[in-house]
């Protein structure tokens, strides 16, 4: 149910997915939904978002830790997103973006979970940049730029049904990081 919910939200957004859609897609009886998720759709979506954030965080951390420098790690993460985009026939996307775009309420557990996910990714980029000698203020601005670039590239790739935006923006981000860390 969680995987189905995450996938449907990526494609249709928060309001574009009903409980019937989820149950039909995953083949689960309604009773099992309320047994596992007594809070209904909101509780299920919250768990799906948490799982999506955890997976994206795992891949990002892996890319940054396995790379020789932050530019290579960022490029690797954009390339991983490009592969996932192809594997999902251009349905892949950020696990938090559809929620943030559909649900502007900022004082909910779901909103706080999305905010925390974005902050965690920003922090991973910032730490990698600071470890490479980038001053804290610049590392913060660059980490936000990278995150914004990824979000925009994901949207463009889906719209164009092409990985070119992910590859190109990833290459540009890597070049920017290299220029900052070379000095």
Q: What is the pLDDT of residue 104?
A: 67
Phi, psi of 43 (to 5 degrees): -65, -40
29 falls in which pLDDT band (50, 70, 90)?
confident
List the one residue out of 148, 17, 164 whose CA is nearest residue 74.
148
Residue 19, φ and ψ in degrees, nearest 5? -60, -40
- The CATH class given to the 49-182 domain equals mainly alpha
User: Is the confidence at residue 179, as pLDDT, over 80?
Assistant: yes
Tokens found for residue 159 = 């719209």
What are the C-alpha distances in Å from 2 to residues 39, 78, 99? Answer: 14, 25, 15
Listed in sequence order, the residues at least 6 apart from 39 whose beta carbon sits closer than 8 Å to its beta carbon are 46
- pLDDT for position 13: 85
Give the tens place of pLDDT for each residue, 128-148.
999 999 999 999 999 999 999
Question: In a 3-state reduction of DSSP, which class is residue 76?
Answer: helix
Closest CA to 96 of 61, 58, 64, 50: 50
pLDDT per residue over 60-77, tens digit each?
999 999 999 999 999 999
pLDDT tens track for 37-55: 888 888 999 999 999 999 9
The pLDDT value recorded for residue 47 is 94
On the question of pLDDT at 183 being above 80, the answer is: no
Check pLDDT > 90 for residue 106. Answer: no
Where do the structural domains in the chain lie, given as residue ranges? 49-182
Cα 137 from Cα 123, distance rounded (Å): 12
Q: Which residue bears the tokens 């994206």?
A: 56
Strands of the chain (E only): list them: none
């Amino acid at each position: 149910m969680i995987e189905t919910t995450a996938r449907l939200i990526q494609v249709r957004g928060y309001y574009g997915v009903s409980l019937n859609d989820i149950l039909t897609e995953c083949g689960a009886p309604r009773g099992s939904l309320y047994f596992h998720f007594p809070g209904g759709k909101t509780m299920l979506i919250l768990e799906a978002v948490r799982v999506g954030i955890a997976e994206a965080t795992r891949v990002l951390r892996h890319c940054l830790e396995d790379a020789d420098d932050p530019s290579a790690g960022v490029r690797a993460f954009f390339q991983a997103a490009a592969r996932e985009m192809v594997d999902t026939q251009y349905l892949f996307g950020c696990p938090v973006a559809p929620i943030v775009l559909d649900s502007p309420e900022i004082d909910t557990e779901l909103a706080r979970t999305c905010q925390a996910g974005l902050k965690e990714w920003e922090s991973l980029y910032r730490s990698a940049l600071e470890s490479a000698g980038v001053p804290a203020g610049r590392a913060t601005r660059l980490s936000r730029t990278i995150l914004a670039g990824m979000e925009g590239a994901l949207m463009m790739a889906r719209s164009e049904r092409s990985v070119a935006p992910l590859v190109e923006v990833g290459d540009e981000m890597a070049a920017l990081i290299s220029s900052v860390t070379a000095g």
